[in-house]
Amino acid sequence: MSAQENTEVTAAELGHVHLLGIGGVGVSAVARLLLAQGLSVSGTDAKDVPVLEQLRAAGATVWVGFDAEHAHGADTVVLSSVIREDNPELVAARAAGARVLHRSQALAALMNGRVGITVAGTHGKTTTSSMTAVMLRHAGLAPTFAIGAAVPALGTNAELGTGSAFVAEADESDGSFLNYRPFIGIITNVEADHLDHYGTAEAVHAAFDDYAALLPADGLLVACADDAGAAAAARHASDRAGSSRVLTYGFSEAAQIRLSDPVHEGTGVIARLRDADGSEHRLSLQVPGEHNLLDAAAAYAVGRELGLSAEQALAGLAVFGGAARRFEARGTARGVRVYDDYAHHPTEVAAALRAARDVAGEGRVHVLFQPHLFSRTRDFAAEFGEALSLADTVWLLPIYAAREEPIPGVSSQLVADAVTVPHRIVTAQDAAALVAAQAAEGDLVMTLGAGDVTTQGARILSVLEGAA
């Protein structure tokens, strides 16, 4: 196994790096790694968020509020897709002739010369990459990693390790996952999403085929056999001349690493795992849901490829306690448990609520959901309604616009019309009190969505505590 060489820019060529939107989880991860490499780093964010002080303490010069002067002297500017072309710092940097890189291109430069492990898929990227990094670190391999969420077991979302492995999420939302040149590529699943970028489901699937084609002939594609899209990408890769090796995982009988007999225990889950060599093992996780078992099986495959014994890989996965906003426990009040999850696609919502059912036991499940993006709500309103109907009661916030402008006729009402259990559209101001009033001892409340619904968990707990 050899480190991958990227023919694009290398870290040594970046010079002074200025990062736009440096407070974002993805861009801040790049900043942490650049600082650890000893590079000169500065950056700007629109808001003063806690991570900015951490980056300052690590040696970065950081501003709040964009101003063209901040980009003065930058050799390279790094940004994410949310930065607009008319951003004054970007305009100034381009005028001065600075190199402009997408966040993924900067990560690819840092990955150069290491064994790249990138995790792609419509769902599960953060959990799978987190599990992989935790497992490798637990085994003493000291990986470098860049993850789209804080991971308690790691203490951070990014770290420059002394080992050869580099674990990173490969975000398909804007096509930037094609900027990497990994040695191991994971595809957790492939579904229609981000149609504002791709236009059609067929284009989404084609992009994942292109991702698989990036792997070298001696590399490895790890794909979920249970998911039709991932399985198709695996078949296409196997049929392609000069393609990498392919290893599948899942509950399917066709999977080379096969899961079976899942049993939910409290907030965790266990299952049997049959390795590709036919050996049988017990996979035990601290997090709930069969979707987490699948993510763990993908991470296990990576560990085995990198030389870990089955016992080493399983021991590392057993210490994984979750990632921020992935079925994250926010607290308990009056016997009501409150969890928060980033789920913002119908498949993710359904997986989160099935896991909530397992954890709730005899209790009811109440969900406060905030649709993310007008285009996604328009395209999947019926599917969201079906997924949310796995709960006992559904509360809907207005759509979180993120990068989009409103679309006439598109609102949370489209989702509400498809929900088949008791439901109501509420404002952010009223949501906590209304949800808390419905919850009783033994129940479970979930806040779901990729927007600011994450702030509602603390408010719900506060209302519950005040009513005690």
For range 444-451, the mean pLDDT: 94
Q: Sorting pLDDT into bands at 50, 70 and 90, what band is 5? A: very low
Q: Is the pLDDT of residue 20 over 90?
A: yes
Q: 11-102: what fold?
A: Rossmann fold (3.40.50)
Q: What is the pLDDT of residues 246-291, one digit of tens each?
A: 999 999 999 999 999 999 888 899 999 999 999 999 999 999 889 9
**DSSP SS3 for 200:** coil
Residue 467's pLDDT is 66
Residue 9's pLDDT is 79
Q: Sorting pLDDT into bands at 50, 70 and 90, what band is 201? A: confident
Residue 198's pLDDT is 80
Q: Is the pLDDT of residue 468 over 60?
A: no
Looking at the chain, the whole-number percentage of residues with pLDDT higher than 70 is 98
Whole-angstrom distance, CA of residue 445 vs CA of residue 261: 27
Helix extents (H) in 340-447: 346-360, 374-388, 412-416, 431-438
Q: What is the pLDDT of residues 370-386, one digit of tens each?
A: 999 999 999 999 999 99
For range 209-214, the mean pLDDT: 94
In the chain, where are the structural domains located?
A: 11-102, 114-318, 328-466
Average pLDDT, the chain: 92
Residue 462's pLDDT is 95
Q: Sorting pLDDT into bands at 50, 70 and 90, what band is 155? A: confident
Whole-angstrom distance, CA of residue 222 vs CA of residue 226: 12
Whole-angstrom distance, CA of residue 391 vs CA of residue 412: 17
Cβ atoms 439, 336 nearer than 8 A: yes
Q: How many CA atoms lie within 13 A of 127 on its CB side?
A: 30
For range 150-171, the mean pLDDT: 92
Look up residue 66 and give its two tokens. 């964009």
Looking at the chain, the whole-number percentage of residues with pLDDT higher than 90 is 78
At 166, which helix (H) or strand (E)?
A: strand 165-169
Query: Who wins on pLDDT, 403 or 461?
Result: 461
Q: 328-466: what fold?
A: Protein-Tyrosine Phosphatase; Chain A (3.90.190)
Residue 1's pLDDT is 52
Question: Is the domain defined by 114-318 classed in CATH 3.40.1190.10?
Answer: yes
Q: What is the pLDDT of residues 304-361, one digit of tens each?
A: 999 999 999 999 999 998 877 888 889 999 999 999 998 998 988 998 999 899 899 8
Query: Who wins on pLDDT, 194 or 85?
Result: 85
Q: Is the pLDDT of residue 133 over 90?
A: yes
pTM of the model: 0.81
- Per the DSSP assignment, residues forming a β-bridge with 386 are none
Q: What is the pLDDT of residues 108-119, one digit of tens each?
A: 999 999 999 999
Q: Is the pLDDT of residue 7 over 60?
A: no
Residue 171's pLDDT is 85
For range 444-467, the mean pLDDT: 93
Q: Which residues are catalytic?
A: 125-126, 169
Whole-angstrom distance, CA of residue 289 vs CA of residue 124: 12
Q: Sorting pLDDT into bands at 50, 70 and 90, what band is 452? A: very high
Query: Who wins on pLDDT, 381 or 149?
Result: 381
**DSSP SS3 for 459:** helix
For range 155-159, the mean pLDDT: 91
Cβ atoms 371, 401 nearer than 8 A: no
Q: What is the pLDDT of residues 183-192, one digit of tens each?
A: 999 999 998 7
Place of tokens 């308990």: 332
For range 443-454, the mean pLDDT: 94
